A and B are shown apart, each in its own frame.
Chain A
């Protein structure tokens, strides 16, 4: 077991994380206010377009931010020069937070799809690959709970996270590779021309900022839980080992003289 694991550090919540949390909550409140009360209904979709102020931002966090941090952290752990349990814990935290956002992507998308498409769910390439992403993330989290040495667990999970990351470009390009019910680029077209304007664009932009800040905040909090979890496991291992050693020492102390014949034997 490496040195950094045997000497656990009790994490303190950094000040910047609190600042990010407050900013994220404020931005989220502002997004909800703009999205529900200030922006006008869409010409085609009416009020249902208001769901598009949160759904794309949630999907972006689930797919690119969480997927990127998980894949990057796992690669940096697997690379011998940068190997550190920091990257392993960061990747694990990103996968769990990403799973929450993936589930929310499916829920908010489904709530939009029911009135617009007429169905809660369809086996469309974008929807199916997103559901697969959630299943892979749950699989990763299950794998992480399998008891193993920390280094073995970290390597195993890093490989699993890279397998999860394979699905990210599939989700992204699914609307181009297959004929899908899900629309293609909503904000930008391939020529980078904007499809959204005015207060709708600002609200959408703010929602991306808000969900990104909330993601960073949740990721930081989840990382601290991960550090504590490992520290407790390690501390318990130390206690068990020291108890075992002292028991062995007592046994040797009792059996020693008789074994060596140095007792009361005539």
Chain B
């Protein structure tokens, strides 16, 4: 039975680890997207490159 157990364990563990890695990657990219978005500037603030 040890080959059978090893086969089931390998299949299930691989899928669990891969699914978890996808969740982690998704969160990391969501955070990166939030950080790369330009912060909203307050109304009336001078635009960069223009005289204030």
Contacts and interface: CB of A to CB of B under 8 A. Distances in A.
Interface string B10-42: 111011001100110110011011001110000
A111 interface: yes
Contacts of A36: 4, 8
Interface string A126-158: 000000000000000000000000000000000
A108 interface: yes
Contact of B19 (A103, A108, A218, A246): A218
B44 interface: no
Q: Which of B7, B12, B33, B49 has its CB near the most chain A CB atoms (within 10 A)?
A: B7
A228 B34 CA distance: 11
Contacts of A89: none
Given A51-B4, A239-B38, A224 B26 contact: yes
A214 B36 contact: no
Contact of A107 (B10, B30, B37): B10
A253 interface: yes
A100 B18 contact: yes
A28 interface: yes
Contact of A228 (B14, B23, B30, B48): B30
By secondary structure, the A interface counts as helix
A249 B26 CA distance: 37
Interface residues of B, number: 26
Interface of A: 8, 10, 28, 32, 35-36, 47-48, 50-51, 54-55, 58, 97, 100, 103-104, 107-108, 111-112, 114-115, 214, 217-218, 221-222, 224-225, 228-229, 231-232, 235-236, 239, 242, 246, 249-250, 253
Contacts of A232: 29, 32-33, 36
Nearest to A248: B49
Contacts of B26: 221, 224-225, 228
B3 A115 contact: yes
B45 interface: no
A157 B49 CA distance: 40
Contacts of A253: 49
B33 to A, nearest CB: 5
5 closest A-B pairs by beta carbon, nearest first, are A228-B29, A235-B36, A221-B22, A111-B7, A246-B49
Nearest to B25: A225
Contacts of A107: 7, 10-11, 14
Contacts of B33: 8, 10, 228, 231-232, 235
Nearest to A224: B26
Contacts of B37: 235
Contacts of B15: 28, 100, 214, 218
A32 B10 CA distance: 13
A111 B10 contact: yes
